[in-house]
Structure formats: structure tokens, C-alpha cells
Amino acid sequence: MKSLFLISLLILLFGLVSERLHRTIFTPPMVFVAIGLAVGAGVFGSFESYDGAELTRLLAEITLVVVLFTDASRIRLTELEKDFKLPLRLLGVAMPLTILLGTVVAYLLFDDLTFWGAAVVATVLAPTDAALGQAVVSSAIVPARIRQALNVESGLNDGLAVPLVLVTIALASVMGGAGTTSYWASFTLKQILLGPLVGIGVGYIGGKLVERGARAHWMTHSFQQLSALALALIAYLGAEQIGGNGFIAAFTAGLTLANAASGVCGVLQEFAETEGQLLALLTFLCFGAHLIWPVIGEIDGTMILYALLSLTVIRMVPVALSLLGSGLLPVTYGFLGWFGPRGLATILFASLVIEHEVPGGEQIYLVALTTALLSVFLHGLTAWPGAKLYSRRCRTVEEEREMAEHLPAAETPVRIRLREPAEPVG
């Protein structure tokens, strides 16, 4: 009871200054992870005993299901066709190269990991979470085309990473002698094939039902919003019941709904900005308190080194290679390369590694948590200043209308919209 009271009080206190903090270096994930670390350290006194790690995993699981569903529901293929080149470069070229480079570096750095164990590390760290640097994808001072590229990348790559994580986990387990080849092959195929089938069915049928219910005025606005949570969980749990992967199902359901029943997507996005954000922030709080704090003493220099390389070289070099010939400024290469934060998906994928008892799983788990922790603070601290500096650099280039950065782009709605002036502050 005491812990719930203090957490509720902290949420209220943060909410009172949240609008002011939008234009500072203090992002919501940073604040809530810091509060979580303080909780874990006992700064607020002793808390009730319970399985905090299990609570965090459950909360992260629900949050990621909602995030996968709502993020995918923002991606309308007809709109994406207007400017698919940059997102395609980031997803189709940079992401595979990032996994490949991350695998090689992890294999060279960690003596205890097999090649496929290193591949698990790289795939767990492949998805990005734009919400950790929300000012970058929400700020009008950043060219719309660049915001769109980062937003679409973040919305799609976590869903695309799920089957890759499953495959690398299976290969690492087989090569490490944990289970037979036939077991892991059957497990992986069912996860990858059945998940999308359930997702497509739930997204199409559920979306049509909600859309018709709304048009006929049978559903209240609040229950239209709640349908986002219901559909996401139906897809997730339905797939899990038949041996499919629930995360793939939730992602596929959102993507199907966006393109088959787009009329209800606006209401679903409202849900993501309120209830969805609360779930995410509570996850970050528990992440600091129950995942990071208990293992902070086990994080060594090699893990920190790999985490820093993952956020810089392993991400930025593939992004730069993927953008060759795009006509973008060199500063844009660096901007897109740096703002690839690791967040909710990485946290949960790390837990999956422990759940499936992957050989070397403890080390993989610690590396993933370390990378997510550093990302929360490094990307949070640089998001707003980075957006301003990048905007100023673009302004110094003559004939802006001819810049590749300023080509027209249909913007995808972001998870959390910020209200701010179009001009840089300060």
C-alpha cells in the first residue's frame, strides 16, 4: 500500500510540471527510471516484498503488446507509399547491417558467447524506441521527412525484430545443446506462422466491428479507446493459446486494422497518448527498481563498452551506409544514426532470453539492460538540444527547398504529441 501511494504521488508531481519539462533535457522515461533506481536503493524507505522482476516482466509484456498494436496502427501503407525510400533504407538495409555488425562485435568482445549467442545480443538490441527521444519525432523544427523516417522505423522495427529474436534464440539454444533441433524448429515455425494469421483475423474483423459500432453510435468514445487494449490483448492471447507468438500477432493486428478500418485509428491513438503512456512510464519505473538496481553490481566494463558501441558505431555506420546516394546532408546521416534509442522492446526481449534459458543468457540479459539504461539517459539528454542544433544546421544550408531533407512527406502520427513552437527555443 505504501509503495502504491508513493508511486501515485510521484506520478502526480511529475504531471504537474510535465508541460514545462517537454522543452528540457528531462524526458519522462529518464525521470521514471531515476525514480525506479531511487526506489530500488531504498531512498523512499523499505517497500513491500514481492517478486518485482516478475511484476516488471508482466507490465513490460502488456505495455509492449499495446505499443506494438498502436504503433502498427499508425502505419497506413497508402500514405507510406508517398515517401517510403528513407524508412525502407533504415529497415531494409540499416537494420540487417546493424544486426550483422552487432553480432561480430559481440562475438569478438564476449569470450563466453557463441556466434549465435552474439546474434541474440544483436537482434535483441536491433529495435528502436522513438519515445525515448520524443522531441526528435514530435518537434516541428526537425524536417518532416526526417521525423517521418524515424517514426516509421520505430513503429515497424520492433515488430519485425520479433521473428528474428525467436530464430536466433532457437539457433543459440540448439548449438548450445539446450533442446533438440526438431523441438526448436517446430516451436519457431509455429510462433512465426500462427502469430500473423491470428493478428490479421483480429485486426480485420475486430477493426470492422469497432468501426461499424462507432458509425452506428452503438459505442461510446471511451469504449472505442478501450477497444485498442481489448483488440491488442485478444490478438496476443489468442496467438499464445494456439502456439503462435503473441507479439507478432499484436503487431500484425495493428497493421491490418490501420489499412482495413482506418476510421477508428484516431481514437486508438488517443488511448496510446494516455493509458499507453502510463503503462510505459510504470514499466520504466519498475525497470529501474527491479531489473537494473538488483544487478547493477554485475555490470562490468565490457558490457558498458558494448552498450556504448551499440548506441554509436554499431547503429551509426549501418545507417550511414544505408543512406548513401540519398542526397541527404552528412549531418543528417549522423542525426538519423544517433537517434535510434533502445527501450521497451529491448527490455522485454532480454527477459525472453532468460525465459527460454538461452546459453549465455545471463550475460545477454545484462548487456541488453545496460544498453537500454544508457539509452534512456543519453538519448533523453540529447533529444531536445540535438533537435535544435540539427534544425540550425539545416537552416544554414542555402536553397532549403531543394534539400532532400525538405522533400514532401506524409507524416505518421507519433505515439505522444508535444505542443511546442515551430522555432527553436533559445
Whether 81 maps to a domain, the answer reads yes
Do 382 and 131 form a contact (C-beta atoms < 8 A)?
no
Structure confidence at residue 421 (pLDDT): 41
- HSE at residue 317, side-chain half, CA atoms within 13 A, is 10
Query: Of 25, 99, 111, which Cα lies nearest the Cα of 310?
Result: 99
- CA gyration radius, the chain: 21
Per the structure, the complete domain to which residue 229 belongs is given by 53-406
Whether 234 maps to a domain, the answer reads yes
Q: Residue holding cell 461499424?
A: 212
Whether 5 maps to a domain, the answer reads no
- HSE at residue 3, side-chain half, CA atoms within 13 A, is 16
Structure confidence at residue 80 (pLDDT): 64
Structure confidence at residue 215 (pLDDT): 85
Q: Residue holding cell 546459453?
A: 359
Whether 165 maps to a domain, the answer reads yes
C-alpha separations of 353 from 104, 114, 309 in Å: 19, 14, 21
Whether 135 maps to a domain, the answer reads yes
Do 371 and 125 form a contact (C-beta atoms < 8 A)?
yes
Distance CA 151, CA 178 (A): 38
**Number of domains present in the structure of the chain:** 1
Do 128 and 71 form a contact (C-beta atoms < 8 A)?
no
Distance CA 111, CA 96 (A): 23
Query: Of 320, 390, 330, 327, which Cα lies nearest the Cα of 133?
Result: 390
Cell representation of residue 327 = 542526397
Query: Residue-wise over 24-40: b if at least 16 C-beta within 10 A, else e?
Result: eebbbbbbbbbbbbbbb
Whether 391 maps to a domain, the answer reads yes
Digits of tens for pLDDT over the chain (426 positions)?
Answer: 666 777 788 888 888 887 777 777 888 899 899 988 988 877 666 555 556 677 788 888 888 888 888 888 877 766 666 668 889 999 999 999 999 999 999 999 999 999 999 999 999 999 998 888 877 877 788 888 898 889 889 888 888 899 999 899 988 888 876 667 777 788 888 888 999 999 999 999 998 998 888 888 888 888 887 887 889 999 999 999 998 999 999 999 998 988 887 777 777 777 766 777 888 888 999 899 889 998 999 999 999 999 999 999 999 999 999 999 988 999 999 999 999 999 989 999 998 898 888 889 999 999 999 999 999 999 999 998 999 899 888 877 655 556 777 676 666 655 555 544 444 333
CATH number for the domain that contains residue 75:
1.20.1530.20
DSSP E strands: which ranges in 220-354? none
